[in-house]
Amino acid sequence: MTALPANQFIVGVDLGGTNIVVCAMSADGSRQYGLCSEPTAAHEGADGVIARMARMVNTAVADTMREAGVSRDAFLGVGVGAPGPLDREKGIVLVAPNLNWHNIPLRDRMTELTGLAAALDNDANCATYGEWWVGAARGAKNVIGMTIGTGIGGGIILDGRLYHGSSDVAGEIGHTTIDQTGRRCGCGNYGCLEAYASGTAIAERAREALSFEQLSILPDLVNGDVSKITAATVYAAAAQSDAVAIEIVRDTARFLGTGIANLLNVFNPDCVVIAGGVTQAGEALFVPLRQEVRRRAFKPAVDACRIVPGTLPGTAGVVGAVATFIAQHTGRPPA
């Protein structure tokens, strides 16, 4: 694959429910400029949010022109990662509950406000593509990406290309059932992976455990108010050898391992990359997780696959938005 020249540039935008992250990158992926983050302020409505995104893009362009000493002609366009579901072909955000958006033609609005060609993709897809382009999944052919935060998002790369499925909703890994009669999920279903292993679920399971187990430092870490326990509290307690927290992390590893083993047996990828707060738990999570995968998946699938934490915390999405622009613009994966 021939890389695009290093003297061409693309701006990436990662639109999240809480923050907007923007940066510019050289088209060969080697240099990054003008990385910045601002609150999304969804209450201002779609017009307000899009105007802010455009201002941030224009600032990133100006910063890059100055720092890299290039002209505006050096910019090929802007890639945008947004919460889905999307109509990628039309560049429309169909529904984004956290933003209260419906049928917003985000791609064309970005072009109007920045004068740059634009491409749109799902945020979880972008995060996976970012890790593949310049992060932990670099060099892999078939990749499953998981982003574990409030929920569990997923992205799939097959042969270097994002796989979108027949109606652009592929990769909803968080909503695969691992226990058909299990915990209720926010989606209405029972037993989804997300209902067990998302940050929200980890905190919930910790509160449940404390209802019948007093020997734990978890309450102390939140000044006695267990409603304030988050997944990060659990990782912190586990790092201090708290038995309750360690068990919750181990169970989380087992749940994630089950979901990932399913993906290994059907996709047979060469890399699974896991991003999000849960990776703070480190080897305490990854060791039992890989063990559960080995227990459940076929050996040739296990042997073919490395399971690794992401290496671009906070920027995988914006970097992947750049990569997805390159893929849509050139018709082939970025080199």
Bridge-based pairing of strands 143-148 and 271-276 is parallel
Give me the phi and psi of 146, to 5 degrees please. -125, 135
Least distance between a second copy and beta carbon 88 (Å): 12
Tell me whether residue 60 or residue 248 sits nearer to a second copy (CB atom): 248
Q: Which residues contact 326 (CB under 8 A, 6 or more apart)?
A: 4, 10, 27, 76, 79, 333, 334
Q: Closest distance between a second copy and the C-beta of residue 175, in Å? A: 5
Judged by beta carbon, residue 204 or residue 267, the one nearer a second copy is 267
Q: Min. distance of Cβ 108 from a second copy in angstroms?
A: 22
If the CB atoms of residues 230 and 267 are measured against a second copy, the closer one turns out to be 267
> Residue 288, preceding bond cis, omega within 30 degrees?
no
CB of 238 to a second copy, least distance (A): 22
Q: Which is nearer to a second copy, 62 or 187 (CB)?
A: 187
Q: How many CA atoms lie within 13 A of 219 on its CB side?
A: 10
Q: How far is the CB of 269 from a second copy (least distance, A)?
A: 6
Query: If you count them, how many residues does the chain have?
Result: 335
* Beta carbon nearer to a second copy, 142 or 233: 142
Q: Which residue, 36 or 169, has its beta carbon nearer to a second copy?
A: 169
Judging by beta carbons within 10 Å of its beta carbon (0-12, 13-18, 19+), is residue 5 exposed, middle or buried? Answer: exposed
Closer CB to a second copy, residue 63 or residue 270?
Answer: 270
Answer whether 289's CB lies under 8 Å from 296's CB.
Answer: no
Q: Shortest Cβ distance from residue 111 to a second copy (Å)?
A: 25
Q: How far apart are alpha carbons 56 and 318 in whole angstroms?
A: 13
Torsion, Cα of 256, 259, 262, 268 (10° steps): -60
Are 126 and 326 a contacting pair, CB within 8 Å? Answer: no
- Residues in contact with a second copy by CB under 8 A are 85, 141-142, 154, 156, 158, 163-173, 175-182, 187, 189, 191, 254-255, 258, 261-263, 265-270, 295-298, 300-301, 303-305
Strand ranges across the sheet with 271-276: 161-162, 152-158, 143-148, 271-276, 306-309
We find the least distance from the C-beta atom of residue 265 to a second copy, in angstroms, to be: 4
Closest residue by Cα to residue 134 from 316, 276, 275: 316
